[in-house]
């Protein structure tokens, strides 16, 4: 069995931003030499997410609006107890919990085995600093 590991680094200027990382993950699959296996992609930070969905700008705007309604940015400790620690990112932790930590995609015939329109995204909820996602591939 083969194993491959790579980190994809980000430094996004916005507090909340979505980046299609499918091309980078496809490069990892090719570099791994795995023909049949699994590809795990996970956010290595507790205020970021990795998820699968359509690469459609209207949907991404809807996500941002929806997430802000559910867990609005508010740096004050009156809304979020976490902000009593001196942080201002409690909302980002909540948004990550909603959007998820990781995805697993099958590899078939040396390619990501997606359904129609599926793409892999890195979701940032507390940007403006360097963060990463892990790509781990195993298989034959």
Q: What is the pLDDT of residues 38-62, one digit of tens each?
A: 999 999 999 999 999 999 999 999 9
pLDDT of residue 26: 98
The CATH number of whichever domain residue 85 belongs to comes to 2.60.120.460
Q: Using CA atoms, how far apart are residues 35 and 138, in angstroms rounded to an integer?
A: 10
Question: Which residues, listed in sequence order, are joined to residue 42 by a DSSP beta bridge?
Answer: 102, 134
Distance linking the first and last C-alpha atoms of the chain? 5
What is the value of pTM for the model shown?
Answer: 0.96
| Whole-number Cα distances in Å, 117 to 14, 17, 22 | 26, 20, 12
CA 109 to chain centre: 25
CA dihedral 17, 135, 120, 2 (to 10 degrees): 170
Domain range enclosing 70: 2-139
* Structural domain total, the chain: 1
Q: What is the pLDDT of residues 81-94, one digit of tens each?
A: 999 999 999 999 99
């Amino acid at each position: 069995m083969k194993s491959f590991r790579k980190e994809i680094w980000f430094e996004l200027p916005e507090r909340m931003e979505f980046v299609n990382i499918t091309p980078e993950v496809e490069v990892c699959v090719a570099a791994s030499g795995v023909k049949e296996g699994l590809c795990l992609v996970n956010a290595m930070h507790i205020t970021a997410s990795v998820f699968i969905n359509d690469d459609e700008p209207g949907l991404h705007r809807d996500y941002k609006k929806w997430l802000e309604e559910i867990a609005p940015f508010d740096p004050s400790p009156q809304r979020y107890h976490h902000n009593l620690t001196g942080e201002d990112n409690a909302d980002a932790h909540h948004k990550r919990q909603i959007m998820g930590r990781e995805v697993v995609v099958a590899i078939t015939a040396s390619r990501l085995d997606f359904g129609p329109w599926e793409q892999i995204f890195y979701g940032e909820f507390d940007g403006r600093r360097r963060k990463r996602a892990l790509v781990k591939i195993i298989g034959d």
